[in-house]
Amino acid sequence: MKNTYSISRAQSHLPRLVRESAADGAVAITRHDETVAYVVSRERMEAIVETMEILANPSAMHALRDYKKGKSKFLPLEALDDEG
């Protein structure tokens, strides 16, 4: 990870750390050269939560498996107007 801070450096540079995580998505925090935590941007956290929700949804996972097998057909959004 590009942005990595030791705990002591993170404590003294918190505003900078938050700006970097907002710009780059995440900043790692280390203790004795081992990553122990991350400061994650709101956008990155929302993407993680959305991914977890999809993975926990059996219908969504079924649709993804069908797509990978070539069983799904995608239509342009304009096709929704034709259905009404």
Report which of residues 20 and 73 the model is more confident about: 20
Q: What is the pLDDT of residue 81?
A: 80
Amino acid at 22: A
What does the chain come to in residues?
84
The two tokens of residue 61 are: 């996972």
Q: What is the pLDDT of residue 82?
A: 66
The three-class DSSP label of residue 43 is: helix
Residue 19 and residue 42 in contact, taking contact as beta carbons nearer than 8 Å: no
pTM of the model: 0.68
- pLDDT category of residue 4 using cuts at 50, 70 and 90: very high
Q: What is the pLDDT of residue 83?
A: 58
Report which of residues 75 and 28 the model is more confident about: 28
- pLDDT category of residue 30 using cuts at 50, 70 and 90: very high
8-32 average pLDDT score:
95
> Quick one: which H or E segment has residue 76?
none
Residue 22 and residue 45 in contact, taking contact as beta carbons nearer than 8 Å: no
